Amino acid sequence: MQSENSAIRKGSAFQKGVYAFCRAVIGPFVTLSLHFSYKPCRIRSRTFLALGNHTQNLDPALLVIATHRYMRFVANAAITRGFVGFIMNNFFGVIPREKGASGDEVIARIEANLKAGVSVGMFPEGNRCWDGVTEFISPRTARLAKESGAALVTYRFTGGYLLHPRWAGYKRKGPMRGELVHEYSPEELAAMTQDEVYEAICRDLHVNAYEEQARSGDLYPGKNLAEGMQYTAYLCPLCHGIGTVTTSGDEVRCTCGLHARYLETGSFGEGNLPFRNLAEWNSYQKAWMHGHSAEFRTMTEAPIASDSGFRLKLVDGESSRLLSADATMSLFGDRLELSFGDRKIVHGIEEITGFGTALKSSVYFSCGSLHYQLVSSKPVSLLKYYALWRILSGREYL
């Protein structure tokens, strides 16, 4: 066990030095570019699991800057390959998570690091939020926190979503803030039930960007404020077309006549859209998709959704192989098809063991030991495929 812990801690002293250098030299530029301010805080525990809500790609850096503590972060396994992977693995000690794959392996790695005395940072939503409200957090996070034997730190970011929504092509102007919500000692966690720990995590990390904006009055001006929203808004609430929403400048439209303007507050105005903000829209489309799940399952002749122009890769451990630079993905009620050239790869819905999105234009899914990555060359919603997979496979979609 001692040799195993030593192997896990290997490189941590060097990585702490890298963190300190980056915090001192690069940190000021990062905080300035993201208009980031934070409340001074001090983490008392030597080893801890730090959890944060996820709104920006640089959230890990902001968490280190704000806490002044070294931790290894759980991150997309795609950044741990090649030359970039060499830097991330050796300089920052990233704990890789294969998107769309089972989380058992990464949980084991987190536990091993914590038991070896190495703190870990992660964003339990698994992705940056799509609509401004903290995404679903798996109850397994609470079990991990209780069983790790380490302290639990919860850190909340506000303003980050409106500053640069995940779906947007451009960053806006406006403030982003951070604060440590709570530090739970191992003794506190031991005295709590797993459900109580879960409730505490969800409560501490919950952020509704629109409620926060209404309280602060902050504005987030910028150019082409609505462009890219179709990555998230995949269902028109008027005609119920899937993938028919388009955006241009500050406006959202559909061929059926739907139109609305996206404002500097992050809400909608000047149109016939029956929602105040994107969170309400997303909540509606999730409920509508659930309500039509039985109908979707019967659609086996024509696809429910289909898009072309994907770069398709087959990912295997540390390497990936390009299968096509122009593949088509089609989702039916009983299967998913990948077509390119004269080839077609078909997987039944029940074969797909994991499905996930990355950034705004990448989707990953796994079929046992097979891991696929698709990157879209067009502004189309990949979130609709994730929604349909969850519904067709009988998984809860909140």
Distance, CA of 380 to CA of 204 (rounded, Å): 33
pLDDT tens for each residue of 368-383: 888 899 999 988 999 9
Distance, CA of 358 to CA of 92 (rounded, Å): 20
Amino acid identity of residue 361, one-letter, is S
Structure tokens at 385: 């495929």
pTM of the model: 0.90
Report for 13-17, 183-187, 353-357: range of highest mean pLDDT: 183-187
Quote the mean pLDDT of the chain.
92
Residues 37-40: contacts with CB under 8 Å, at least 24 apart: 37/175, 37/176, 37/177, 37/178, 38/62, 38/65, 38/66, 38/177, 38/178, 38/179, 39/177, 39/178, 39/179, 39/180
Distance, CA of 246 to CA of 255 (rounded, Å): 9
Query: Do residues 371 and 101 make contact, with C-beta atoms less than 8 angstroms apart?
Result: yes
Query: Do residues 99 and 382 make contact, with C-beta atoms less than 8 angstroms apart?
Result: no
pLDDT tens for each residue of 52-82: 999 999 999 999 999 999 999 988 776 666 7
Q: How confident is the model at residue 102 (pLDDT cuts 50, 70, 90)?
A: low
Report which secondary-structure segment, H or E, holds 168.
Answer: none
pLDDT at 165 over 90: yes
Task: Give, in order, the Cα–Cα distances in Å from 376 to each of 240, 267, 336.
Answer: 23, 27, 16
- For the chain, domains (ranges, CATH) are 2-216 (3.40.1130), 229-291 (no CATH), 296-392 (2.30.29.30)
Q: How confident is the model at residue 99 (pLDDT cuts 50, 70, 90)?
A: low
Task: Give, in order, the Cα–Cα distances in Å from 248 to each of 149, 170, 252, 261, 283.
Answer: 51, 13, 7, 10, 23
Distance, CA of 391 to CA of 384 (rounded, Å): 11
Distance, CA of 198 to CA of 160 (rounded, Å): 24
Residue 297 is given by DSSP the state: H
Report for 18-27, 337-346, 387-396: range of highest mean pLDDT: 337-346
